[in-house]
Amino acid sequence: MSLKSINPYTGKLIRSYPEYTQKKIDAIINATHQDWQKLKLTSFKERSVWMNNIAKALITEKEALGKLMVDEIGKPVKDAIAEIEKCASVCEYYATHAEGFLEDELIETEAQKSYVSFQPIGIVLAIMPWNFPFWQVFRFVAPALMAGNAGILKHASNTSACALAIERIVKQSGFPENSFNAIIISSSKLEETIKNPLIKAVTLTGSTGAGKKVAALAGGLIKKTVLELGGSDPYIVLKDADLQMAAETCVNSRLINNGQSCIAAKRFIVEQSVAKEFIKLFKAKMEAKKFGDPADTNFHLGTMARTDLRDDLHKQVLSAINQGAKCILGGYLPEGKAAFYPPTILTNVKKGNIAYNEEIFGPVAAIIIAKNEDDAIAIANDTSFGLGGAIFTKNIKKGETIARERLQAGSCFVNSFVKSDPRLPFGGINESGYGRELSLYGIKEFVNIKTVYIK
């Protein structure tokens, strides 16, 4: 069997990648373990130099690496290059801060000396998705290697070129050669790898379904997991919001990566008294976003990552309409081979509608009207997810209280769209997952928090 990378714009096969046999994967895991023995003894200073080498290589090669994403998933070229730059920034961030984050913490007891030390745990398996094929991986790689852990990457089946490029860049950086390896294998054959005793923990970014299966398997083996799963992020537009700014921000968030982002705005919950005006502004801005060849910088949107994902999205839109939603923009399958989906708006979305309940992973906005502020917050929290959320209001104090105390999600932003930032923790609650990536919290997920006590 082989994994196929198909260009979603041309519909053509880019390349087939023969799947690795279990024997080959076991050999890679053994080699990674061998080099972890060396890696864990290296100093933060050495790791910092190597991590900065990765950042430099990313910047030097950003056009070529970006092109891999344009080809494999139809990401607009400007966004692809920006993604590589962001990866370099997370490498630099951890190169600078890892040592401070993982410094021993002295704790006064009756002992002569007692403290907490943060020790590496070994190989962490990273199961990663196709939507940000570099960023999702680097926000794992940078803290993991800086903490002295090794990594094995199982990337999505449609992004093998990205996986191998990341492996090459890490290998050329100076870290012990097998500190980080990619394995080319479909998710259906991953069980043996998760069970391998040298794999100490698993981090997965992807759908809630995949997260549940991996967490169940890893849990049965007492292996820790961090799960960054889907979301149906609510964006609340209160009646005192700057509607122009809110509409602009909401559209930009909804259309990040052709609508395929876990933290894209998905449900727009608007107070009744400003709904008409907001919808007018929102529609005009969505209409202005054009899709086309992802390599052409004149277009805002490229294709979706795969035709099957695009077709599933369209089915969700049709079901939503069947269940009473009104489509006021888009909502059709463009002709031709390219996996395009137009910016789409569904209004009249009510509780029970698929666009209210499910994650819609594409450029489709569901607008829900709320009676008042309390109703808007209740609707926002009426979800099985809890990744991010945003509130638009000119009353900053009120916005902050809603963000801090009332919205149930891992990240809540006021008058801004939700974004990940190396300096801030990132992750969800409920079916959006658990654990945190990035910042001080991210690097401490996969370490042995060890107590040392000297009488």
Catalytic residue numbers?
A: 228, 262
Closest CA to 206 of 140, 283, 294, 297: 140
Count of residues binding ligand NDP (CB under 6 A)? 24
Closest CA to 23 of 216, 189, 200: 189
What ranges make up the beta strands (E) of 63-188? 105-106, 113-120, 123-127, 150-154, 180-183
Residue closest to ligand NDP, measured at CB: 206
List all residues 6 or more positions away from 405 whose beta carbon is below 8 Å from its beta carbon.
Answer: none
Nearer to ligand NDP, 183 or 274 (CB): 183
Could you give the string, one character per residue 205-244, with x where binding to ligand NDP holds by CB under 6 A and - elsewhere? Answer: xxx--x--xx--------------xx--------------
Select from 84, 127, 169, 369 the one that contacts ligand NDP (CB under 6 A).
Answer: 127
Tokens encoding 289: 């976003």
Asked if residue 129 binds ligand NDP (CB under 6 A), the reply is yes
Asked if residue 114 binds ligand NDP (CB under 6 A), the reply is no
Could you give the string, one character per residue 340-359, with x where binding to ligand NDP holds by CB under 6 A and - elsewhere? Answer: -------------------x
List all residues 6 or more positions away from 150 whose beta carbon is below 8 Å from its beta carbon.
Answer: 32, 33, 35, 36, 39, 122, 123, 124, 144, 178, 179, 180
Instruction: Give me Rg for the CA atoms of the chain.
Output: 22
What is the rounded distance in angstroms from the CA atom of residue 182 to the CA atom of residue 166?
8
CB of 73 closer than 8 Å to CB of 8:
yes
> Widest CA span of the chain, in angstroms?
75
CB of 325 to ligand NDP, least distance (A): 19
Select from 81, 201, 262, 438 the one that contacts ligand NDP (CB under 6 A).
Answer: 262
Distances (CA, A) of 389 to 162, 368, 394: 30, 15, 17
Asked if residue 128 binds ligand NDP (CB under 6 A), the reply is yes
Select from 156, 184, 317, 338 the one that contacts ligand NDP (CB under 6 A).
Answer: 156
Residue with tokens 């052409």: 296
Select from 98, 169, 309, 443 the one that contacts ligand NDP (CB under 6 A).
Answer: 309
What ranges make up the beta strands (E) of 238-322? 265-271
Helix/strand/coil for 107: coil
Tokens encoding 376: 């808007």
Asked if residue 8 binds ligand NDP (CB under 6 A), the reply is no
Could you give the string, one character per residue 20-59, with x where binding to ligand NDP holds by CB under 6 A and - elsewhere? Answer: ----------------------------------------
Length of the chain: 455
CB of 205 to ligand NDP, least distance (A): 5
Could you give the string, one character per residue 171-210, with x where binding to ligand NDP holds by CB under 6 A and - elsewhere? Answer: ---------------xx--x--------------xxx--x
User: Given the rule CB under 6 A, which of 22-30, 127-135, 165-173, 402-410 is the region that contacts ligand NDP?
Assistant: 127-135
Select from 5, 7, 32, 131 the one that contacts ligand NDP (CB under 6 A).
Answer: 131
Residues that bind ligand NDP (CB under 6 A): 127-131, 154-157, 186-187, 190, 205-207, 210, 213-214, 229-230, 262, 309, 359, 361
